[in-house]
Amino acid sequence: MSAIESVLVENRVFPPSDAATRGARISGMAAYEALCKEAEKDFEGFWARLARENLDWTKPFTKTLNESSAPFYKWYEDGELNASANCLDKHIGTPVENKTAIVFEADDGSVSTVTYKDLLSRVARFANALKAQGIRKGDRVIVYMPMTIDGVVAMQACARIGATHSVVFGGFSAKALNERIIDAGAVSVITANFQMRGGKELPLKAIVDEAIGMGGCDTLRTVLVYMRTPSACNMVAGRDKTFEEVLKGQPDQCEPVSVNAEHPLFILYTSGSTGKPKGVQHSTGGYLLWASLTMQWTFDIRPEDVFWCTADIGWVTGHTYVAYGPLAVGATQVIFEGIPTYPNAGRFWQMIEKHKVTVFYTAPTAIRSLIKAAETDEKVHPKNWNLSSLRILGSVGEPINPEAWMWYHRNVGGERCPIVDTFWQTETGGHMITPLPGATPLVPGSCTLPLPGIIAAIVDESGKDLPNGSGGMLVVKRPWPSMIRTIWGDPERFKKSYFPPEMGGRIYLAGDGAVRDEQRGYFRITGRIDDVLNVSGHRLGTMEIESALVSKTDLVAEAAVVGRPDELTGEAICAFVVLKRPRPKGEEARQIASDLRNWVAKEIGPIAKPKDIRFGDNLPKTRSGKIMRRLLRSIAKGEAITQDTSTLENPAILEQLAEKN
């Protein structure tokens, strides 16, 4: 049974235990419904109340929502605040100031910690260093850093001076980095000499050099380098400076710059349905409100909790639930530099025991790979560790199949921890549809119900509501504070991508298919309905991979990329390629496929490497020249072709493409 089929027949229900409900921020379904009603009755009043209660404003807002230029919605538009002050300064003079903010475990297992007070000093010093480098409010700064306390310090320091950060995941290639520096018009790149992953020292600064060497980075003035390891790296005189150099003599106090609520806190690039990644722009006020609120609602965070979100700061999850959310609520959090399988696949469980983690948030792909490891090697099974500190488990990034859900529930959560299967996106800024640990009865594989104030629905192509039980497109009918504001530098694309005119131009189209069950109205996400793939929880555009392939102009004539279901990674990338030379076979085909895989890794990053590459003399096209992707998807899955192929210009091609190298 496929993952989606097994989700559709799921009928197990796990009501919240008394322990989970007791003292919960939202305790019981009646409390959840009361919040939903409050939002329904007075939408703006609801969001105004929450923003006043949860954020410190340097200038209070008087307007809550401005819809006059929809879909360019504005929230709290005449208010001012600073994100870093709301994560750090806010706790000074309270019992939180001496609390551990971050427990950092390095790849090699060594641990260091920092209190809120010390973290504020580090952020302030770094913010002063940025100012001394001429970086000002409104400037864009690229952060290309490993998972370290310093990565968070860099983001918070940007926020403190009103600079807009754009974090690029350390696994992205020089080319991807080059494109993002140019698109953002960045004045500075903050990076490290190397990063440590799985016992290996991997270069970062060398990739930055390569990216800048590709040209076009005209706005870039400085590169700031954190020396993560003792190894030397190339430094360009006048342009590159180590952290040590720029921090020297900087005071540990820095007045946070008050910015407008709509000021762009960050830009984060993500894949869409064209070849060019989109710079998703987020606000300061609405975004931060959501980071704080969802920490309270979804994770029911309490003063004694030890929170661990395993996401890298290069992804949105690492923004909202590492760099901002946990700090905004004064929580203690764990940050991990390494990978879940080093030195062995018991690393996560060992770390939960060691740091007494209470709330653990990870991705289904990690869970599935750890299930596989535990099944083949008893020694890395979670039962070998004491996981009794755990209180709540979370899942994010892709649908979690009920089998993985049950395993997580039993073997990690000891059948006592609610699992919050949080559906959201880079564009939404934070959780949208998710169970609440002290309220929602859980159904494996379902993200259950929208958070209060989130008006989610399932509609057909014209925007008409569909009844429960019928699958359709997931939309959000009203704006919410942490929504994407625009695509950096491309407002037209923003409108076109997310607010289709056929639906009136004001409804947010998520790009996912979903269905609500008949009994409870619970949402189940069935996967992307556009040309976006989800591989190991990483979002990749098929067009992006196609452009990478055809950019090898000496070899590739044409390429089409589709996804196919994969037990471990959710989806796997399958590329169909036509070469500028006769179709290769056997060893030659395997060699070219391997070269092309490496090429894609170089163009985008290793996460975009196609798992499967097939060669054909041509691609299946209609007589009007359109590639029939539907057929390619069937071939990729190894299914017999049952579709109508009468419009296909060259039916013989199908057999060729079905052949594995």
Binding flag, residue 498, ligand PRX (CB under 6 A): no
Binding flag, residue 533, ligand PRX (CB under 6 A): no
Q: Smaller CB distance to ligand PRX: residue 161 or 543?
A: 543
Indicate which single residue of 349, 423, 480, 523 sits in contact with ligand PRX (rule: CB under 6 A): 423
Indicate which single residue of 164, 332, 411, 422 sits in contact with ligand PRX (rule: CB under 6 A): 422
Binding flag, residue 440, ligand PRX (CB under 6 A): no
The Cα–Cα gap between 60 and 263 comes to 15
The Cα–Cα gap between 63 and 641 comes to 57
CB 394 within 8 A of CB 419: yes
Secondary structure letter of residue 258 according to DSSP: P
**Three-state DSSP state, 32:** helix
Indicate which single residue of 399, 444, 479, 541 sits in contact with ligand PRX (rule: CB under 6 A): 399
| Cis ω for the linkage preceding 343 (within 30 of 0) | yes
Other residues' Cβ atoms within 10 Å of the Cβ of residue 254: 22
Binding flag, residue 421, ligand PRX (CB under 6 A): yes
Beta strands 80-81 and 259-260, pairing class: antiparallel
Secondary structure letter of residue 642 according to DSSP: -
Minimum CB–partner distance for residue 313 and ligand PRX (Å): 13
- HSE (CB half, 13 Å, CA atoms) of 92? 13
Q: Smaller CB distance to ligand PRX: residue 135 or 525?
A: 525
Residue with tokens 């049974």: 1
Residue list for the binding site for CoA:
197-200, 317, 536
The Cα–Cα gap between 481 and 399 comes to 25
Binding window for ligand PRX (CB under 6 A); candidates: 52-60, 93-101, 422-430, 646-654:
422-430
Indicate which single residue of 347, 539, 552, 609 sits in contact with ligand PRX (rule: CB under 6 A): 539
Q: Smaller CB distance to ligand PRX: residue 512 or 603?
A: 512
Beta strands 266-270 and 278-282, pairing class: antiparallel
Binding flag, residue 290, ligand PRX (CB under 6 A): no
Binding flag, residue 316, ligand PRX (CB under 6 A): yes
Minimum CB–partner distance for residue 534 and ligand PRX (Å): 5
Q: How far is CA 455 from CA 178, 421, 522, in A?
A: 38, 18, 13
Indicate which single residue of 398, 566, 571, 603 sits in contact with ligand PRX (rule: CB under 6 A): 398
Q: Smaller CB distance to ligand PRX: residue 412 or 613?
A: 412
Biggest alpha carbon distance in the chain? 74
Handedness of CA 333, 339, 342, 347 (dihedral sign): positive
Indicate which single residue of 151, 279, 397, 541 sits in contact with ligand PRX (rule: CB under 6 A): 397
For residue 231, with 0-12 CB atoms within 10 Å meaning exposed, 13-18 middle and 19 or more buried, which class applies? Answer: exposed
Minimum CB–partner distance for residue 198 and ligand PRX (Å): 23
The Cα–Cα gap between 205 and 210 comes to 9
Site string for ligand PRX, 508-527 (x = CB under 6 A): --xxx------------x--
Q: Which of residues 551-610 bind ligand PRX (CB under 6 A)?
A: none
Binding flag, residue 84, ligand PRX (CB under 6 A): no
Indicate which single residue of 333, 401, 534, 569 sits in contact with ligand PRX (rule: CB under 6 A): 534
Residue nearest to ligand PRX (CB): 426
- HSE (CB half, 13 Å, CA atoms) of 462? 1
Binding region for ligand PRX (CB under 6 A): 270, 316-317, 396-399, 421-426, 447, 510-512, 525, 528, 534, 539
